[in-house]
Amino acid sequence: MKSEALRNAHAAIEAACKSVSGDTSLIRAKCRGLLAGYDKRWRDATYQPVEVEQFYIAPLMNPDTNKPSRTYRLAGVIDLLCERESRRVLFDHKTTSQDIQEPDSVYWRQLVVEAQPTHYNWLLWLNGKKVDDTVWDVVRKPSISPKKLTKAEVRAAVSFRTYFGDPLSDATVTALQTEERETLEMYEIRLAHDCTEERPGWYFQRRSVPRLDNELLEYGRELWEHGLEMLHARNTGHNARNSGACMLYNSPCKFLGICSGYDKADSDKWIRKPQVHNELPIVEGDGRDFITNSRVRCFQTCRRKHYYQYELGIERIDEEEREALLFGSVWHRGLEAWFNTFKKDSDNGNGTNQPAGNGLASNNAASQEALPF
């Protein structure tokens, strides 16, 4: 029998898939099957959810002078804040196709230096919510796909109307009369069995990623430097291209046509977004004054891309989401609903969509002298 959390997660997946154009049935089956395994592996864990998908804002602070920028603010959506044995724990959800089972795999080595949890730790510290621990909550995407069935497998499924012990619908039994291939219902059942009974450790891992105070302060200094460089680029119009980033992840940058002269930013193929940050909820203004982890990464990757994405704020009219991004988005919605089922009511402060106070100082940052940047 499905748990309440799993039923809520499945409903969220349905809603997320319906909001996207095109056929999302395979992504839906993957997420539903994975969540069955996730639910069994982690539902008895001792983490108590307090905040789920909460939006935070804070001043961009110079840790050495303890003064804020008057141009930029920090922002981010925190996946999950939990309590465990009176400790505040930050969760960050990740999906990957890489090996996560081996503790010394390349994936985990890279996450040791990944800036995203550092950004969220710093953002929460500035809001007066210092984190005691940070956990990567990683899910490996399925490597199995719907498969061709043997005649014996078809006969068994039709005769017993079950597959890996789960009942099959009339539609699936009918479909098997004409095609000896798994339906998406059968694929979901097999995937759920694989990640629940056969290989849960292959699919699901959690690892603590501690961030020391001196690391957070150093990151704050780096953010301050990035802010200075972003403002210099804005004021001078100097946005250098990085040709090494044009084909990252074996896929062309969406702005490659503009950079290579085959298109123009003001052509009828592009529109200006009302808000430059796709990852943030609707905020007042266009969001150009917000610095997020995604924005920093984009600026580090290619300043010209940063200009098109976060200064001009343009996107192609016919742009389609890549399967990997769509999977990650739908999976996130499912996890959000799953954790909300266990959420603890908290009256000790929620995230806010208003500028936050400075948790590093005794005085509110808004009352301090802002720097001319």
C-alpha to C-alpha distances, 243 to 43, 239, 295, 302, 323, nearest whole angstrom:
46, 13, 19, 8, 25
Are 328 and 108 within 8 A, CB to CB? Answer: no
Asked if residue 83 is part of any domain, the answer here is no
- The DSSP line for 90-103 is EEEEEEESS--SST
Asked if residue 307 is part of any domain, the answer here is yes
How many CB atoms lie under 10 A from the CB of residue 22?
A: 10
Looking at per-residue pLDDT, the higher value among 8 and 372 belongs to 8
Please report which confidence band the pLDDT of residue 360 belongs to, taking 50, 70 and 90 as the band edges.
low
Return d(Cα 341, Cα 38) in angstroms, integer. 14
For strands 204-208 and 270-272, give the pairing.
unpaired
* Host H or E run for residue 159: helix 151-160
Asked if residue 15 is part of any domain, the answer here is no
Nearest to 223 by CA among 58, 8, 19, 108: 58
How confident is the prediction for the chain on average, in pLDDT?
89
Are 13 and 31 within 8 A, CB to CB? Answer: yes
Single-letter amino acid code for the residue at 54: Q
Nearest to 248 by CA among 302, 296, 317: 302
Domain that holds residue 226: 220-316
Q: Please count the structural domains in the chain.
A: 1
Nearest to 336 by CA among 55, 20, 2: 55
Instruction: Name beta bridge partners: 271.
Output: 315
Q: Which residues contact 272 (CB under 8 A, 6 or more apart)?
A: 312, 313, 314
Looking at per-residue pLDDT, the higher value among 276 and 210 belongs to 276
Asked if residue 260 is part of any domain, the answer here is yes
Helices (H) then strands (E): counts for the chain? 13, 10
For 168, phi then psi, to 5°, come to -105, 150
Region of poorest pLDDT, from 3-7, 19-23, 76-80, 222-226: 19-23
Residue 347 in this model has a pLDDT that exceeds 60? no
Range with the largest mean pLDDT of 245-254, 271-280, 304-313? 304-313
**Longest CA span, the chain:** 77
Are 313 and 276 within 8 A, CB to CB? Answer: yes
Please report which confidence band the pLDDT of residue 281 belongs to, taking 50, 70 and 90 as the band edges.
confident
Residue 68 in this model has a pLDDT that exceeds 90? yes
> By percentage, how much of the chain surpasses pLDDT 70?
91
Return d(Cα 268, Cα 265) in angstroms, integer. 9
Return d(Cα 128, Cα 344) in angstroms, integer. 20
Asked if residue 306 is part of any domain, the answer here is yes
Residue 280 in this model has a pLDDT that exceeds 80? yes
Please give the model's pTM, rounded to 2 decimal places.
0.86
Reported as a single tens digit per residue, the pLDDT across 112-146 is 889 999 999 999 999 999 999 999 999 999 999 99
Asked if residue 35 is part of any domain, the answer here is no
Asked if residue 129 is part of any domain, the answer here is no
How many CB atoms lie under 10 A from the CB of residue 197?
A: 12
Asked if residue 230 is part of any domain, the answer here is yes
pLDDT score of 350? 40
